[in-house]
Amino acid sequence: MKIATWNVNSVNARLETVLKWFREASPDVACLQEIKCVDEKFPREAFEDLGYNVVVHGQKTYNGVALLSKSPVEDVRRGLPGDEADDQARYVEAVISGPTPVRVVGIYLPNGNPVASEKFGYKLGWMERLNRHVRELLALEEPLVVAGDYNVIPEPADVHDPVAWMDDALFQPQSRGAFRALKWLGLTDAYMEVDGAPGGYTFWDYQAGAWPRNHGIRIDHALLSPQACDRLLGCEIHRDVRDWEKPSDHVPVVVELAL
């Protein structure tokens, strides 16, 4: 089973690019972030025509996540539990049916900038809530994949110039510490397990020639439960997609499990 994560940076604005990749890569499951539309405006039929079941948790203009699966989905959850007042669409979860069911979580973790604002506190609070919920999911002892745009640069090797990002919320000690705390629950970073080479970037800004100069960062991650990690076959960053016409500033990351 191939499970992808991709921040598409507006699914409708980049629909032809997104559909081209889906036709070529044909993931079994995909978690999309930053779809930037309400549920009713998501191009559901275009993905259904490719054989996908569609789960959307959208939001006007900002945020929004979707989960697409070639297999039926069950036990769907929209929204991260723990704060009833939180109306930002950043979390979707479902069990993908099959001989070995797998629970897939798609997240769009808050950016948190600027650090000296309530946005950074929201980011850290969201990560605490994610930690609590993932702890509950791990207790189910089933294959679990938590994939998405984490907006966290885990280590200096995951950024072209660590000094340039020292003041950014993505690279703060608190953000990186919260990411490590997630892994300490028993999750494995799929890319680090399979490859781990420096420069496995997943995001290049549109500004300052970041893409042609390879000034990237690794912020799109797939974390696996022990039951999923035992079935890990590969993890591939589709960096060539960044060079396509009208690209997102992120590229797809695809994890393959023996399911």
Any idea which residues carry the catalytic annotation?
108, 149, 250
In angstroms, how far is CA 226 from the centroid of its own chain?
19
* Three-class DSSP category at 156: helix
122 φ, ψ (degrees, to nearest 5): -65, -40
Contact call for residues 135 and 62 (beta carbons, < 8 A)? no
Specify binding-site residues. 7, 34, 149, 151, 249-250
Going by the annotation, the residues of the binding site for Mg(2+) are 7, 34, 149, 151, 249-250
| Alpha carbon distance 214, 235 (integer Å) | 20
Neighbours of 195 (CB within 10 A): 12
End-to-end CA distance of the chain: 6
As beta bridge partners, residue 74 has 95
